[in-house]
Structure 1
Amino acid sequence: MTRLPALALVLLLALPGPVQAAGLDPQAVEQAQSFAQGDGKAIDPAMIRLQVLLDRSRFSPGVIDGLAGDIVRKAIAAYEVANGLDGKDDAALLQALAAEDGKPVLQRYTISEKDVQGPFVMKVPDRLEDMAKLAHLSFTSPRELLAEKFHMDEDLLEALNPGADFARAGSGITVAQVAARDEKETVTRIDVVKGQGALYAYDAQDRLVAFYPASIGSEGTPSPTGTHEVSAIAPEPKYYYNPKELNFSGVKTKDLLEIAAGPNNPVGTVWIDLTEPTYGIHGTPEPALIAKTQSHGCVRLTNWDAEELSKMVKKGTAVTFME
């Protein structure tokens, strides 16, 4: 059996220092050859390049924000184990990642009419009871839509496009060039590691083919134990809260709640149902919080990671929960 990636810190060569958002230069992103281990508070052009390349390789950094942090380190460690790298040379890591498709990491994109026409919601309510009153759980703005479309944090989108009007169709903006690939990998086994906040996906040859950061359970609503299976896949799911089965903190209703589909639905844009009742792998309305907050027992990924995984699994795929 393939060993899970060790989470030892990867030795990284440092740049003179992370560049503040106001000074972001797309060319600096494309030309970066080493990346800093910064404080996670300042955007580093090389970290943007690294995150985009990891995203395209299926070793997800979560949301692309240009910031150093534990999620990126875990994605690096997983990629290096899967690809036989020694973890000592970030230039070699970037070279290996870039060689996979040879494409630039940023692109110019023209905002379309579809991007701005909505419908949008003014604000996503905090309470499930109020969510259930809405006809849809869409994005709150074209900016949020565009950030998610390109797997980016909204602050990074702004930093790359200072002064841009994201609500104007025909405007040109700079965004991450993420993959829109036809999935050919078949995942036959998934390991969900609670202590790492991570999901590892393996193929039939027991090769690690994908890594995704995840929010997994909590003390009040823990995730399952043992091995279960994928039972169904539901794109654009509605969310149902049954107080007879669930008892979430702060939810007072005694009635069954039906919450409309949409990217800001509590389970995001896809639900991968498990044979353990009420549990699944799903998306999220808050991608920046993945692996940083707890879930209601399920396995929560970014919407784009959950969508990608849903195309690689099928009914019967084994899902094992580990401490």
Structure 2
Amino acid sequence: MDLPRLVVLIVLAPFTAAAAEPLSLDVVNKAELPLSAAKVKGPDPVVIKAQILLDRARFSPGVIDGRAGENFEHALAAFEKHHQLDGDGKLDETSWAKLKEVSGEPVLKEYTIAEEDVKGPFVKNIPAKFERRAKLARLGYTSPAELLAEKFHMNENLLKALNPGRNIDEAGTSIVVAAIATEPPEGKVKTIEVHKREKAVRAFDKDGGLIAFYPASIGSEESPAPSGTHKVRAVVHNPVYRYDPSRVQLKGVSRKRKLKIAPGPNNPVGSVWIGLSKDTYGIHGTPDPDKIGKTASNGCVRLTNWDAEALARMTERGAVVTFVD
């Protein structure tokens, strides 16, 4: 005789992966290895922390955005080599410990938005065409968020991600920002090396000691950067941008006559110009810090505004600038 079959039903509870903890001051300040970028969408707390530590050590990663890209790897490699580590640009326990030793913690802080941060005047938008930019009275910031992000060397998206629900447009609001170095750069720059292939700028003192490292956009195939050795001829803060088609032809500029674009952080050469003895060439800032090291320039050496300003404060007329092919 047939026996009844016993059917056992096993009900499995649905598996839910642990949600990543939202970004916050504590999450980033307490972040430790390993990297989670391969598993977690969005900015990685460990990378944010490492970028701020590098920035404070004068090995700029460019924009602090929590992404382990090429600028971050180059800055880390330069930091490692400077401290006699392996120099592979990979964040490991050794380089992580040295970063924290050199730069200290915490890396994020609370900041109360000041009246000067929000008073403007702000520019509604920055036109793409130079001809239209030339009609503006000033190439200022487009919003308090852009101003604050640049003030603390950050990407706007990261600034907003760290401050959900906070009014970044209102004075008196407490927000979370990168705890960047506030003291002025030490030492005077006597020599600057522009490394074309590495897309990087190194600044040295009179004894050949490395003072700072910056990611850069350096020339293009159409408008290559110069070669050889030159000197710093002038340092100009809040420069007026002057376009002269008889001396240089820029792609996308149809105007056949000279034009002048007013100063401001969104000026084509940013907030500072370090002019070289090679006519029409210089080291300068940018209105697009997120693109540094990722896009070409029109022959000059382009840094973030804050890196260009730091370099300008340390550099005097006569400093030697060498382009390394």
SS in 2 for 1:195: coil
Residue 54 (structure 1) aligned with residue 54 (structure 2): yes
SS in 1 for 2:317: coil
Superposed counterparts of 1:127-276, under 5 Å: 127-276=129-278
Change in Cα spacing, 1:248 to 1:149, as seen in structure 2 (3 Å) is: same
Match of 2:121 among 119, 122, 127: 119
Aligned to 1:295: 297
Superposed counterparts of 1:101-112, under 5 Å: 101-112=103-114
SS in 2 for 1:314: strand
**Structure 1, unaligned runs of 5 or more:** 1-18
Q: Are the equivalent residues in 2 in contact too, given 1:216–1:294 (CA < 8 A)?
A: yes
CA distance in 1, matches of 2:98, 2:125: 42
**Structure 2, unaligned runs of 5 or more:** 1-18
State the structure with more CA Rg.
2
CA distance in 1, matches of 2:48, 2:226: 35
Once structures 1 and 2 are overlaid, which stretch shifts more, 248-257 or 152-161?
248-257
Deviation for aligned residue 1:188: 1.5
- If the length of structure 2 is used for normalisation, what is the TM-score? 0.89
- If the length of structure 1 is used for normalisation, what is the TM-score? 0.90
CA distance in 1, matches of 2:284, 2:125: 22
Aligned to 1:31: 30
Q: Are the equivalent residues in 2 in contact too, given 1:28–1:46 (CA < 8 A)?
A: no
- 1:143 corresponds to which letter in structure 2? A
CA distance in 2, matches of 1:75, 1:141: 29
Deviation for aligned residue 1:37: 7.5
Once structures 1 and 2 are overlaid, which stretch shifts more, 187-196 or 295-304?
187-196
Q: Are the equivalent residues in 2 in contact too, given 1:35–1:44 (CA < 8 A)?
A: no
CA distance in 1, matches of 2:285, 2:160: 24
Aligned to 2:69: 69
Q: Are the equivalent residues in 1 in contact too, given 2:53–2:103 (CA < 8 A)?
A: no
Deviation for aligned residue 1:70: 1.1
SS in 2 for 1:206: coil
CA distance in 1, matches of 2:287, 2:196: 21
User: For residues 22-71 of structure 1, what are the alpha-carbon distances to aligned partners after superposition, in whole Å with 9 as ceiling and x for unaligned?
Assistant: 82132121122324273596311011010001001110000000111111
Q: Matched residues, percent identical?
A: 51
SS in 1 for 2:181: coil
User: For residues 253-307 of structure 1, what are the alpha-carbon distances to aligned partners after superposition, in whole Å with 9 as ceiling and x for unaligned?
Assistant: 1221111100000000100000000000000000000000000000000000000
CA distance in 2, matches of 1:98, 1:167: 33
Aligned pair count reads 305
- 2:44 corresponds to which letter in structure 1? D
Q: Are the equivalent residues in 2 in contact too, given 1:36–1:68 (CA < 8 A)?
A: no
Change in Cα spacing, 1:114 to 1:268, as seen in structure 2 (3 Å) is: same
Q: Are the equivalent residues in 1 in contact too, given 2:53–2:104 (CA < 8 A)?
A: no
- 2:60 corresponds to which letter in structure 1? S
CA distance in 2, matches of 1:127, 1:89: 41
- For the aligned residue pairs, the C-alpha RMSD in angstroms reads 1.9
Change in Cα spacing, 1:204 to 1:41, as seen in structure 2 (3 Å) is: farther
SS in 2 for 1:230: strand
- 2:210 corresponds to which letter in structure 1? L
